[in-house]
Chains A and B, each alone.
Chain A
Amino acid sequence: AIVLNQSPSSIVASQGEKVTITCRASSSISSNYLHWYQQKPGAFPKLVIYSTSYRASGIPSRFSGSGSGTSYSFTISRVEAEDVATYYCQQGSSNPLTFGSGTKLEIK
């Protein structure tokens, strides 16, 4: 199984700050198969970025993604209060499909 090591496990940021989350895969993944989700407290997950760098429908432009091979990143250019959530990466390259362990974003 492909293990996704996500870091950091938590971030505390100020509004307007830039934050970056890293997702490292235990083996190489095509960039088509690396995705990011946002899960707000008490809610179901929501697709934010698919195929490394494509924003899902309705997602603001402050969210972006990049990467290739085994190293991927997710960035919020200017954090807003509504971005408080846990963020997960996920690979669709091979079964079993796997998720990273999550990064909890809090606002100062």
Chain B
Amino acid sequence: EVQLVESGGGLVQPGRSLKLSCAASGFTFSSFAMAWVRQAPKKGLEWVATITSGGSNTYYVDSVKGRFTISRDNAKSTLYLQMDSLRSEDTATYYCAKGTIITKDFDYWGQGVMVTVSS
């Protein structure tokens, strides 16, 4: 059974940093791209970042480029999102999602972790 479990969320002040983790199990983690998708309160879904299976390529939405870093540790089957210079507009539930090899859909999602940026 595929499981994705996020952790690391919380309340943080504007300009500070936070690092999210996503522990994966139930599939060969090193074979699949992984992504972070976020959802602001009462809003729709927004793709944040994707990392390829080996970790060599990363992609970001413009609004987080230069501030967020997606990474992975295939030995630990864990995905990360380092979030620096946080802004109030980064307040959202962050979901870890498993990508598919060719069609770039997300076939499994974690339960999400809340990040609140506020003074």
- Asked if residues A92 and B104 are in contact (CB atoms below 8 Å), the reply is yes
Number of interface residues of B (CB under 8 A): 24
Q: Say if the beta carbon of B27 comes within 8 Å of chain A.
A: no
Tell me, in angstroms, the Cα distance from A44 to B5 when the chains sit together: 12
Q: Say if the beta carbon of B50 comes within 8 Å of chain A.
A: yes
**Chain B neighbourhood of A95, CB < 8 A:** 50, 59
- Asked if residues B103 and A32 are in contact (CB atoms below 8 Å), the reply is yes
Q: Say if the beta carbon of A98 comes within 8 Å of chain B.
A: yes
Residue among B46, B106, B107 facing the most chain A CB atoms (10 A cut-off): B106
Q: Say if the beta carbon of B110 comes within 8 Å of chain A.
A: yes
* 1-43 of chain A: CB within 8 A of chain B: 32-33, 35, 37, 39
Nearest-neighbour CB distance to chain B for A35, whole angstroms, equals: 4
Q: Say if the beta carbon of B100 comes within 8 Å of chain A.
A: yes
Tell me, in angstroms, the Cα distance from A35 to B99 when the chains sit together: 12
- Asked if residues B109 and A45 are in contact (CB atoms below 8 Å), the reply is yes
Number of interface residues of A (CB under 8 A): 24
Q: Say if the beta carbon of A76 comes within 8 Å of chain B.
A: no
Nearest-neighbour CB distance to chain B for A4, whole angstroms, equals: 10
Q: Say if the beta carbon of B111 comes within 8 Å of chain A.
A: yes
Tell me, in angstroms, the Cα distance from A99 to B100 when the chains sit together: 16
- Asked if residues B95 and A90 are in contact (CB atoms below 8 Å), the reply is no
The residues of A with any CB-CB pair to B shorter than 8 Å are 32-33, 35, 37, 39, 44-47, 50-51, 56, 88, 90, 92-93, 95-102
Q: 10 shortest A-B CB distances, which residue pairs?
A: A92-B104, A35-B105, A97-B47, A99-B45, A44-B109, A50-B105, A102-B44, A96-B61, A95-B59, A47-B107
